[in-house]
Amino acid sequence: MARDTGLGSQYKRSSRRRLRLAELDWDMKYFYWICATAVLALGIFFATQFSIEPQSIPKIKFSQVHTPEELGKGVFERLRLEIKEAPIVLLGVTPNQIEDMELWRGFFEANQEPGSKYDVIVVEPMLPYVELFSSNMRIDIKEEMPRFVEGVKKAREQGLRVAVIVPNIYSSQLLKKNPANRLKEEYKLDIVSFSVVKFPVTREQEAAFDPPCVFEEGKDMAGTGALGCMIRNIARKTYRKKFEDNKYSGMMEQTGAKDYLILLNRNAGSK
């Protein structure tokens, strides 16, 4: 029987020691990996569960144009594919602001392609300047929603595409229980919303801006706080911009899967 010289035993003990250290090192790496994953998961959980203000995705960067129609044409060009796949759209405006209507006029003028053009234009009768459009129907979609839905369904059965011009507080899907969300949840209509809104151009204007940014329970009496906060957050990107006289300032961001917000202001000096 071969005798152990002592050197072999030392080698075996050293090998076992290195093996144990390697196992310990792997265990520590595994532990750190588990901890990092847990922290990341918790971060995502809290961000999704407790985040107060939703985020938006830029679609048209801040720009200044000579007419609102230019921005309306830009909306169509930027979202040509999305619009073609949207047979029912709500087009929101700020009441009594003709430039919002002019923006949508430019949108309709640009959107003339077969399969993309809107065949039926519905307008809210309370809105001024609706004479800018060749409307097929005038109906208060909030007060006559069942009748409106019936008309939309009949139009879709005939393969017609429908665009509806309404106040922006009706169209924005940021606002719960408004007509846009009722049409989706109660009547299961697959709609896409585009809402034109005004925006503050300085932090000082935020305090007096309507709709205000309000999220505290019991303080958002009008139920428009979410829209006000989104407008404020997007508008802050423009506060250091130089606004040119006699032009219109605008930008567009996506605020939901099928919800878009278009900020449009008439600059100082514009007629």
Coil/strand/helix, residue 177 = coil
Q: Are residues 261 and 180 in the same domain?
A: yes
Residue 167 within any structural domain of the chain: yes
Q: Are residues 123 and 88 in the same domain?
A: yes
Cβ count within 10 A of residue 135: 16
Report the b/e string of 183-195 with b at 16+ CB within 10 A: beeeeebebbbbb
Nearest-angstrom CA–CA distance, 238 and 249: 10
Query: What was the pLDDT predicted at 53?
Result: 56
Q: Are residues 120 and 39 in the same domain?
A: no
Q: Are residues 204 and 98 in the same domain?
A: yes
Query: What was the pLDDT predicted at 25?
Result: 57
> What is the phi/psi pair of residue 130, to 5°?
-70, -15
Query: What was the pLDDT predicted at 218?
Result: 78
Q: Are residues 89 and 146 in the same domain?
A: yes
Q: Are residues 160 and 73 in the same domain?
A: yes
The pLDDT tens digits along the chain (271 residues) read 444 555 455 545 555 665 565 555 545 554 454 554 444 444 444 443 334 556 899 999 999 999 999 999 999 999 999 999 999 999 999 999 999 999 999 999 999 999 999 999 999 999 999 999 988 789 999 999 999 999 999 999 999 999 999 999 999 999 999 999 999 999 999 999 999 999 999 999 999 999 999 977 778 888 999 999 999 999 999 999 999 999 999 999 999 999 999 999 999 865 5
Query: What was the pLDDT predicted at 18?
Result: 58
Tokens representing residue 5 in the block: 């010289």
> What is the phi/psi pair of residue 121, to 5°?
-115, 120
Ordered DSSP codes for 97-138: -HHHHHHHHHHHHH--STTTS-SEEEE-TT-TTGGGS--SEE
Query: What was the pLDDT predicted at 215?
Result: 79
Q: Are residues 149 and 220 in the same domain?
A: yes
Query: What was the pLDDT predicted at 17?
Result: 62
Q: Are residues 162 and 199 in the same domain?
A: yes
Residue 194 within any structural domain of the chain: yes
pTM beyond 0.75: the answer is: yes
Residue 100 within any structural domain of the chain: yes
- Per residue, the 3-state secondary structure of 222-247, as one string, reads CCCHHHHHHHHHHHHHHCCCCCCCCC
Q: Which residues contact 107 (CB under 8 A, 6 or more apart)?
A: 72, 73, 75, 76, 91
Residue 252 within any structural domain of the chain: yes
Residue range of the domain that includes 245: 56-266
Residue 38 within any structural domain of the chain: yes
Residue 69 within any structural domain of the chain: yes
Domain count, the chain: 2
Q: Are residues 36 and 150 in the same domain?
A: no
Q: Are residues 43 and 150 in the same domain?
A: no
Tokens representing residue 106 in the block: 């430019």
